Structure 1
Amino acid sequence: MEPDGTAGGRLKVAEVDLADGHGDGSAEGNKGFRKIQKLDSFNIETAGLESDRGHLSNQNLAWRMVIKLAIQSIGVVYGDLGTSPLYVLPGIFPNGIKHEEDLLGALSLIFYSIILIFLIKYVFIVLSANDNGDGGTFALYSLICRYAKASLTPNQQAEDREISTYRLEVPSHRLRWASAMKSLLENKKTAKYLLLFVTMLGTSMVIGDGILTPCISVLSAVGGVREAASSLGDDQVMWISVVILIILFQVQRYGTHKVGYSFAPILSLWFISIALIGIYNFAKYDPGVIKAVNPLYIVHYFMRNKTDAWISLGGVILCLTGSEALFADLGHFNVLSIQLSSCVVVLPSIFLAYFGQVAYLRKHTEDVASTFYSSIPKPVYWPMFVIAVSAAIIASQAMISATYAIVKQSVVLGCFPHVKVVHTSKDHEGQIYIPEINTLLMLACVGVTLGFKTTLQLGNAYGIAVAFVFTITSTFLVIVMVMIWKINILLIILYVLTIGLAEYVFLSSVLYKFIDGGYVPLVFAVVMVTIMLVWNYGYRKKYEYEFENKVSREALVTIMSNTNIHRVPALALFYTELVHGISPVFTQYVANVPALNSVLVFVSIKSLPISKVPLEERFVFRQVESGIYRCVVRYGYSDAKMEQQSFEKVLIDRLKDFIRCGALPTADQQGEASDHGIAMVHEERVQREIGLVDEAINIGGIMYLMAQSEVIASSGSGCSKRFVINYLYNCLKRNVRQQEEVLGIPHKRLLKVGFTYEI
């Protein structure tokens, strides 16, 4: 983008074929009219910020901004990971400590698990697999789809690959492994379905994590009050936790920016406090626990305890809770800020906390069930209790924010029903709030808390959600390493045999506790995956129906030449999901309303498998006939939709720009006229078309046309298809926000056309 002194940029005009939507994207057909300098009104959307600032690129951010984001990230990203010392050691030793040396083995497991999975995998490898500054399961999926054409929806266009953020910087050399994997994903439909299913499963597990995190964090912290008030029972602790959870979800509407700044000082105080207490316990009770950095203690631990040691891994994995939040919340911050806060603040604090707790337990093994609160020096017990409860409340923020981010990604990629997305910050588009999801999370958290009451079984459920997310992320990461990064296969094998193997061992351990509460996240996952599969199936079938029944060029010419159809002076925006050609809904409209607006623009809102589309590359126009145009409006899954009034203004401006540089003379006219004559003919056509647009707007204004669709299974469909489409999909469709609500279309200017999709 080349600014023009305000916030402008260059407008790229691309041609889209009416029948199949493909163009060569070259400048040869347009000669000197390919690009023009134009004020970019899309900056209304981002409050005057240039598009590259939305990516939070490390190269363009000043250190002051990096430090500012690092401080905010402490209040949003690390609450879950930072409060894990509340419940990890009780989770490892639910039946008490049998051998004093087991403490060193458990501590060594905690130490190397955090080093391997949190630090090496997430902080330094996974964060590098971001999609233009956005993270999460769908970000990895979008990278793979862009590179291997693995998307199941047939809406790919050649022009999409011209978008600057669509391109991937990959090594130029071709490797046999990369080529084979790319070929598999492109040519095997089963591989595409499997990839999408695993993506949905990973997304559902993160959402399940977002439900369980607030429950276990708040219950663990509030339960500490019984150290000072033993008369309180499980029921009282449970109800106090429920009240705190309800309040937590009520403050989400104020946005990550305000929540992060409010929470960061509290969580910073928490990290300082657990570090100082850890140092105190380490020095007072047993400095010898430093021996746990020797991994041989892990070997001795397993030799001594065998099956029990393997089962205890379900407690060890709890020290890694919230690691996925680093990646999922990346769109709220940036890579460098998260790496900075991880290495400078978070890791030293939690290491000191765990070493201090184990040093205390070496002298007081009977206190393992209440390790955290028992190890607090008595003079600072109540201040630490208040800080712990506050930190536990904040711990929930990481996964709540991550849930918002991945749900939005799912919606725009056609894998989740429409929901309202509220952008809470003018500076950072990734900071969002989704009211419907917030309410569902709150209800689920309250239900889980009331159902479990204590943290023991809840920890089993939590471990399964965490382990599944780890393994799915690693699976996608290996695909990215092989196919996109093309790194040495020996390094990939090393990753699989160390980090990957460790995660699958953790998964095998937590699955052992399936009956004891571990089924809960899997139930959540089944419900969420079912919703996502049903919605995506209906979405794809609708699109395929329109694609197969689109209006041909000949049929359109016939409709336009019909003298019985009147032309009304107004500009109509005809919304359709179809990117290639004219939707069959148009013929239904003409059959019922024998009148057409003098200017008609078929608008397709298209979501691309990229995080952001630069503002100057968002619109693609094609002239069908005089006064009839097609417009594809391209968004990334992290882009904010414009307000409708601003959208209208920008679309009209871009339409006029397209007319000026795209309405060129035909080949016959070029053959008959001189260069001067061609220019004159071009100018006349431009003035005529722009005059038609201005007249339509001035006389009739802008109106909207949209399908009021009914979706049914076609005759001859099997029972399962009829059940999925006629009941499940239609039930979802009736109970979520309609498209006009999501797009903010004014009802007074909206005309709906009834249409039945037999799919």
Structure 2
Amino acid sequence: MTHDAAASRPAPRGRVLAGLSLAALGVVFGDIGTSPLYALKESFLLEHGVPATPENILGILSLVFWSLAFVISFKYIAVLLKADNRGEGGILALLALIRPQGELAGARRALVLLGLFGAALLYGDGVITPAISVLGALEGIDVATPALREYIVPIAVAILVVLFLAQRRGTAGIGRIFGPVMIVWFMAIGALGISGIARDPSILRALWPGYAVDFFVRDGMQGFLILGSVVLVLTGGEALYADMGHFGRRPIRLAWFALVLPALLLNYFGQGALLLDDPSGAANPFYHLVPKPLLYPMVALSTAAAVVASQALISGAFSLTRQAVQLGYCPRVTVVHTSQHEAGQIYIPEVNTGLMLACLALVIGFKSSTNLAGAYGIAVTGTMAITTVLFANAARTRLGWRPRLVIPMAALFLAVDLAFFSANLVKIPAGGWFPILLAGLIFVLMATWKKGRHIVTAVLREGTLPMELFIKEMAKRPPVRVPGVAVFMTSDLSGAPPVLLHHLKHNKVLHERVILMSVATREIPQVPEEDRVDCQDLGFGFFAVQASYGFMESPNVPDILQALVPRGLVVKAQEATFYLGRETLIPTKAAPAKRAALAARGLWMPMWRKRIFMVMANNARSATAFFGLPPNRVVELGAQVQI
């Protein structure tokens, strides 16, 4: 079972548990914690046709309560946190569990492609969350001083620009205050909720699920479509699951049940009580809960909480991209480690720039959290449903859960997820198109890269010579050997890499020691150091080195060479020569018969996908930088590859 390693770690207790729970508040719960800024407000918009009558208020509050109880507390906290990949959660961790080696086929291929689209949707979440959270926080200015309404968008743009530009410096410094900021935030919204409930304690009747049922029966289709707004209280559920590897189950559960859930429920019910007392507050019930003298301090605190929520999603996008690179769904990118102590704190300039431009476009284009709410719902509900499907497969086939438990549970989860998703489909014209378009674009890029690399690897493999035959040939007709060590990077240790054959053909010499090195990604988050490197002496001065990394790790060749020392192979990175192959891709057309034959072997792409793949390959980060090779010790040999 893949979660043995995680299960063997001692559960945190005492001060360690408290510290992890505090840190989780600043990373895991920022997104869901800022939902009260806009979630309930969206349910009573005029275009929904659901006025703020006592029956509707009680019905919607009942939906909010039971949605949080079922989806977050039961599905994510109680069940999904147990379905981990050696301690890691999230869509790509599940995808790594179910991903087979080799070419995909049949239902498994459809499942992997679905998971890939779910990962692409997460980028939409990462783009929308900073925009909607910051706008929702600043809209308190409109309540305090309506004359300043026109400054909300420029201020939001300025905050987001500063936030994204600060990423290159890392979050280690400001990250220490994220937890305390969120403690103050949750205590503040909880206190506001208590003051609201005091206005009309009868709002607590909404705890009875009958009010939710009556709401559906009474309002019919209009009541069903309101789920598209209610789902906004669930934003951040996927982040909660994905961040499990950073903090563990117990700290997340403790923070949720001890502080986050009570504060959220108090605030939502306080907003509901406010509406029972004064339905005109439906325009922005969160800020109407705040006493007038405290409006601007609350705007400042809300903005700080929105920045924390945004930072969590930005960091999540960086982590997601690194996982995608390691799993072969994304070209090499620049991964900058911003902390000497925390391996998970990384910065990816390419992703940061893309997120910043997309966020600014959303803020300028949509202008308010209300306009963005439709886009948000599609991204959230789509990801929830896909996670359920992947969980059901992984739990049944890889984690050893009993089918009689998994199937009915997954069916129930999926029924709820699809209900929320269906209610959001009507919002596609009003903004829901954005996450679908963005996810579709990212999905095409990831699938094209995976397919293209598969084709290139297959073409190169056809030109290789089995290592046994190569070694025998070297023994029969030994070339001139020169002092030193040569390291040839390859993806397949079973054959002599093309770059080695080209080097021997053109230079007619070999180093005294030749290392064939392959760096592979396994389906687990981290590989134990004792399993990192495997070295095999092939004879005649040749060595095969297989290095393994998890999908949460970044490869480093000098570290691999250092790990060879205990195995009797002493190689200094600054004294070795590293040989890399640089492929020049040539897109080719083919006759229908040949095209059909290649397609049957999974080795064909349409011309438009070939051109996309070429652009991605040409803009990928160099292998020298990605593997941490000394630039002045690298030799690149080119080869033309027809695809």
Bin for the TM-score computed over the shorter chain = over 0.9
Aligned partner of 1:116 among 67, 70, 74? 70
| C-alpha distance 416-561 of structure 1, shift in aligned 2 (>3 A) | same
| C-alpha distance 641-388 of structure 1, shift in aligned 2 (>3 A) | same
Instruction: Give distance in 1, aligned partners of 2:609 and 2:509.
Output: 33
| C-alpha distance 105-497 of structure 1, shift in aligned 2 (>3 A) | farther
Q: Contact (CA 8 Å) 1:415, 1:536: kept in 2 or not?
A: yes
Aligned partner of 2:563 among 623, 627, 650? 650
After superposition, residues 623-642 of structure 1 pair within 5 angstroms as 623-642=537-556
Aligned partner of 2:579 among 701, 705, 722? 705
Q: Contact (CA 8 Å) 1:704, 1:751: kept in 2 or not?
A: yes
Q: Contact (CA 8 Å) 2:487, 2:514: kept in 1 or not?
A: yes
Identify the residue that residue 495 of structure 1 maps to in structure 2. 409
Identify the residue that residue 238 of structure 1 maps to in structure 2. 153
State the shift of 1:281 in Å: 0.9
> Which one-letter code corresponds to 2:351 in the other structure?
I
Instruction: Give distance in 2, aligned partners of 1:449 and 1:546.
Output: 46
After superposition, residues 243-642 of structure 1 pair within 5 angstroms as 243-283=158-198, 285-553=199-467, 555-557=469-471, 559-561=473-475, 563=477, 565-642=479-556
Q: Contact (CA 8 Å) 2:488, 2:499: kept in 1 or not?
A: no
Instruction: Give distance in 2, aligned partners of 1:544 and 1:232.
Output: 61
Q: Contact (CA 8 Å) 1:329, 1:401: kept in 2 or not?
A: no
State the shift of 1:411 in Å: 0.4
Secondary structure, aligned partner of 2:482: strand
Instruction: Give distance in 2, aligned partners of 1:546 and 1:65.
Output: 51
Identify the residue that residue 84 of structure 1 maps to in structure 2. 35
Secondary structure, aligned partner of 1:362: helix
| C-alpha distance 69-717 of structure 1, shift in aligned 2 (>3 A) | farther
Q: Does 1:189 align with 2:139?
A: no
> Which one-letter code corresponds to 1:203 in the other structure?
A
Identify the residue that residue 151 of structure 1 maps to in structure 2. 101
Structure 2 unmatched ranges of 5 or more:
596-603
> Which one-letter code corresponds to 2:586 in the other structure?
I
Identify the residue that residue 58 of structure 2 maps to in structure 1. 104
Q: Deviations over 1:275-303 (max 9, x none)?
A: 011011101x1101111111111111112
State the shift of 1:396 in Å: 1.1
Secondary structure, aligned partner of 2:158: helix
Q: Deviations over 1:160-213 (max 9, x none)?
A: xxxxxxxxxxxxxxxxxxxxxxxxxxxx71223212211211111111100000
State the shift of 1:524 in Å: 0.6
> Which one-letter code corresponds to 2:19 in the other structure?
K
Instruction: Give distance in 2, aligned partners of 1:360 and 1:408.
Output: 45
State the shift of 1:639 in Å: 2.2
Aligned partner of 1:730 among 592, 609, 614? 614
State the shift of 1:655 in Å: 4.5
> Which one-letter code corresponds to 1:740 in the other structure?
T
Q: Deviations over 1:323-348 (max 9, x none)?
A: 11112222332222111111111001
Q: Contact (CA 8 Å) 2:480, 2:510: kept in 1 or not?
A: yes
State the shift of 1:350 in Å: 0.2
Q: Deviations over 1:372-401 (max 9, x none)?
A: 111212232222121111111212122222
Identify the residue that residue 67 of structure 1 maps to in structure 2. 18
Instruction: Give distance in 1, aligned partners of 2:21 and 2:167.
Output: 20
Identify the residue that residue 126 of structure 1 maps to in structure 2. 80
Q: Contact (CA 8 Å) 1:58, 1:336: kept in 2 or not?
A: no
Q: Contact (CA 8 Å) 1:318, 1:463: kept in 2 or not?
A: yes
Q: Contact (CA 8 Å) 2:275, 2:281: kept in 1 or not?
A: yes
Q: Does 1:740 align with 2:624?
A: yes
Q: Does 1:716 align with 2:556?
A: no
State the shift of 1:654 in Å: 4.4
| C-alpha distance 581-725 of structure 1, shift in aligned 2 (>3 A) | farther
Secondary structure, aligned partner of 1:101: helix
State the shift of 1:572 in Å: 0.7
Paired residues in the alignment total 627
State the shift of 1:427 in Å: 4.5
Q: Which has the higher contact order (CA 8 A, sep 6+)?
A: 1
Q: Contact (CA 8 Å) 1:91, 1:314: kept in 2 or not?
A: no
Q: Does 1:223 align with 2:139?
A: yes
| C-alpha distance 757-252 of structure 1, shift in aligned 2 (>3 A) | same
| C-alpha distance 494-258 of structure 1, shift in aligned 2 (>3 A) | farther
State the shift of 1:621 in Å: 1.6
After superposition, residues 671-686 of structure 1 pair within 5 angstroms as none
After superposition, residues 4-83 of structure 1 pair within 5 angstroms as 58-59=9-10, 61=12, 63-83=14-34
Instruction: Give distance in 2, aligned partners of 1:635 and 1:223.
Output: 46
Instruction: Give distance in 2, aligned partners of 1:633 and 1:135.
Output: 24
State the shift of 1:542 in Å: 1.9
Moved over 6 A (4+): 54-57, 717-720
Identify the residue that residue 598 of structure 2 maps to in structure 1. none
Across the aligned residues of Structure 1 and Structure 2, the Cα RMSD in angstroms comes to 2.4
Instruction: Give distance in 2, aligned partners of 1:276 and 1:338.
Output: 22
| C-alpha distance 343-717 of structure 1, shift in aligned 2 (>3 A) | farther
Q: Contact (CA 8 Å) 1:280, 1:356: kept in 2 or not?
A: yes
Q: Deviations over 1:68-94 (max 9, x none)?
A: 121111111111101101101121111
Q: Contact (CA 8 Å) 2:52, 2:275: kept in 1 or not?
A: no
Structure 1 unmatched ranges of 5 or more:
1-51, 154-187, 658-692
Instruction: Give distance in 1, aligned partners of 2:243 and 2:399.
Output: 23
| C-alpha distance 232-464 of structure 1, shift in aligned 2 (>3 A) | same
> Which one-letter code corresponds to 2:140 in the other structure?
G
Taking structure 1 as the reference length, the TM-score comes to: 0.79
Identify the residue that residue 601 of structure 2 maps to in structure 1. none
My pick for the range that moved more, 93-102 or 315-324, is: 93-102
Instruction: Give distance in 2, aligned partners of 1:70 and 1:198.
Output: 33
| C-alpha distance 402-553 of structure 1, shift in aligned 2 (>3 A) | closer
| C-alpha distance 199-395 of structure 1, shift in aligned 2 (>3 A) | same
Q: Contact (CA 8 Å) 1:707, 1:755: kept in 2 or not?
A: yes
State the shift of 1:119 in Å: 1.0
Q: Contact (CA 8 Å) 2:533, 2:560: kept in 1 or not?
A: no
State the shift of 1:136 in Å: 1.5
Q: Does 1:137 align with 2:91?
A: yes
State the shift of 1:231 in Å: 1.0
My pick for the range that moved more, 493-502 or 83-92, is: 493-502
Aligned partner of 2:635 among 751, 754, 759? 751
| C-alpha distance 418-339 of structure 1, shift in aligned 2 (>3 A) | same
> Which one-letter code corresponds to 1:258 in the other structure?
G
Identify the residue that residue 175 of structure 1 maps to in structure 2. none
State the shift of 1:98 in Å: 5.1
Taking structure 2 as the reference length, the TM-score comes to: 0.92
Instruction: Give distance in 1, aligned partners of 2:253 and 2:146.
Output: 41
Identify the residue that residue 46 of structure 1 maps to in structure 2. none
